[in-house]
Amino acid sequence: MINRILEGFIAVLLVAAVGVAFLAVIYRYALNSALSWSFEVSLALLTYITFIGGYLALRKGAHLKVDLLLACLPFPMRGAAFLLNQALIGLIGWIMAWYGTRQMLRFSDQHTNVLEVSNSWYYAAIPIAGGLICIDVVTTTIRGLIRMFRGEEPVSSDSKHSSTSIDL
């Protein structure tokens, strides 16, 4: 369910970004008048599309991976590789959440030039995505450990995506 919600959210943001860009082009070339706010809005939309979309790609197992070597390893080593992978993903999520929050707070007193909204709104996408990544790592690791204790692969092989594609 969360995948559907996020996909819908990303789709709305993408339509809005395309609409703002299209409107900016129409104003600039057809009406000889530039929209002063279009760059700031486009930047915010693309920032959220990037970070939330990156999290969604993680959930769906859509990031690039090479598992040729992993398939050659014995079961305990595949389990260890899974745990190492989850630890690295969790570390990246934690760094995004921690330093993204610090960056967001650091720029909270600065405002954009045209819309005069706090720059922290731009930076908020980073800790939001980082926090979501951390939550996903915990749930994926728990599911993987349960599967390993049953003697199964930590990542479901019958799914088109990795085990992170399980909807909550």
For the chain, the domain total comes to 1
Residue 159 has pLDDT above 80, yes or no: no
d(CA 118, CA 126): 15
Helix residue ranges, H only, the chain: 2-25, 38-60, 68-72, 75-106, 120-123, 125-149
Cα–Cα distances in angstroms (integers) from residue 122 to residues 11, 44, 45, 89, 126, in the given order: 18, 6, 9, 23, 8
Q: What pLDDT is stored for residue 157 in this prediction?
A: 60
- Under 8 Å between Cβ of 144 and 155: yes
d(CA 135, CA 130): 9
In tens, the pLDDT along 14-37 reads 999 999 999 999 999 988 888 889
Residue type, 88: L
- Under 8 Å between Cβ of 10 and 49: yes
- Structural domain of 60: 2-165
d(CA 96, CA 75): 32
In tens, the pLDDT along 40-51 reads 999 999 999 999
In tens, the pLDDT along 61-112 reads 887 777 788 888 888 898 999 999 999 999 999 999 999 999 999 998 999 8
Residue type, 93: G
Residue type, 33: S
pTM: 0.83
